Amino acid sequence: MLSQANMGKSFWAEAVSTACYLVNRSPHSALNFKSPQEVWYGKPVDYSTLKVFGCPTFIHVNDGKLEPRAKKCIFIGYDFGFKGYRVWCTQSRRVITSRDVVFDETCMIAPEKEISICNYYVGTHHDTEEDVELDDEHPHHEDGPSPRRPREATPQTQKKSIAEERAKRQIKPPSRYIEGCDYVQYALTVASQVETNNDDPCSFKEAMSQSDAGKWLIAMKQEMESLSKNNTWELCCAPKGKRIVGCKWVYKKKEGTPESGGPIYKARVVAKDDMLVACKNMIEVNNLKRLLSSEFDMKDLGEAKKILGIEIIRDRSADVLYLSQRRYIEKVLERFSMMHAKPVSTPLGSHFKLSKELCPQSKEEEKDMAHIPYTSAVGSVMYSMVCSRPDIAHAVSMVSRYMSRPGKVHWEVVKWLLRYFKGTSNVCLEFGRDANGLIGCCDLDYGGGLDDRKSTSGYVFTLGGTAKELLLKKIGTEENPADMLTKSLPTTKFTLCVDLVGLSLCSM
Confidence of residue 500 (pLDDT cuts 50, 70, 90): confident
- Work out the average pLDDT over 498-504: 76
385 neighbors 427 (Cβ within 8 angstroms): no
In this predicted structure, the answer to whether residue 415 has a pLDDT above a threshold of 90 is yes
In this predicted structure, the answer to whether residue 316 has a pLDDT above a threshold of 60 is yes
286 neighbors 386 (Cβ within 8 angstroms): no
Report the pLDDT value the prediction gives residue 179, as an integer from 0 to 100: 45
pLDDT tens sequence across 285-304: 888 888 888 877 777 777 88
**Based on C-alpha coordinates, what's the Rg of the chain?**
29
- Work out the average pLDDT over 454-477: 59
Query: Directed axis angle between helix 326-335 and helix 183-195, to 10°?
Result: 80
pLDDT tens sequence across 368-379: 888 888 988 898
Q: How far apart are CA 10 and CA 27, in angstroms?
A: 30
DSSP letter for each residue of 145-193? --SS-PPP-----SSS-HHHHPPPP-PPPPGGGSTTS-HHHHHHHHHHH
Q: How far apart are the first and last CA of the chain?
A: 68
Report the pLDDT value the prediction gives residue 146, as an integer from 0 to 100: 40
- Highest-pLDDT range among 200-209, 413-422, 472-481: 413-422
- Work out the average pLDDT over 1-15: 85
pLDDT more than 90, % of the chain: 8
DSSP letter for each residue of 81-92? TSS-EEEEETTT
Report the pLDDT value the prediction gives residue 258, as an integer from 0 to 100: 57
Report the pLDDT value the prediction gives residue 29, as an integer from 0 to 100: 86
- Work out the average pLDDT over 352-376: 88
Q: How far apart are CA 318 and CA 315, in angstroms?
A: 6
Report the pLDDT value the prediction gives residue 309, as an integer from 0 to 100: 79
- Work out the average pLDDT over 117-145: 40
Confidence of residue 342 (pLDDT cuts 50, 70, 90): very high
Confidence of residue 133 (pLDDT cuts 50, 70, 90): very low
145 vs 173 pLDDT, higher one: 173
Dihedral over Cα of 119, 125, 129, 130: its sign: negative
Name the average pLDDT for the chain.
Answer: 76
Report the pLDDT value the prediction gives residue 411, as an integer from 0 to 100: 93
In this predicted structure, the answer to whether residue 418 has a pLDDT above a threshold of 90 is yes
* Beta-sheet pairing, 56-60 with 320-324: unpaired
Q: Does the pTM exceed 0.75?
A: no
Q: How far apart are CA 224 and CA 136, in angstroms?
A: 66
Burial class of residue 345 in the structure, from the number of CB atoms within 10 Å of its CB (0-12 exposed, 13-18 middle, 19+ buried): middle
DSSP letter for each residue of 264-330? EEEEESS---------S-HHHHHHHHHHHHHHS------S--EETTEEEEEETTTTEEEEE-HHHHH
Q: How far apart are CA 114 and CA 116, in angstroms?
A: 7
Report the pLDDT value the prediction gives residue 74, as an integer from 0 to 100: 92
Dihedral over Cα of 462, 466, 472, 474: its sign: negative
Give alpha helix (H) positions in 312-407: 326-335, 363-369, 374-387, 393-399
Q: How far apart are CA 355 and CA 449, in angstroms?
A: 8
The amino acid that residue 54 corresponds to is G
* Beta-sheet pairing, 320-324 with 427-431: antiparallel
Q: How far apart are CA 408 and CA 142, in angstroms?
A: 16
Report the run of H or E that residue 75 belongs to, with start and end. strand 70-78
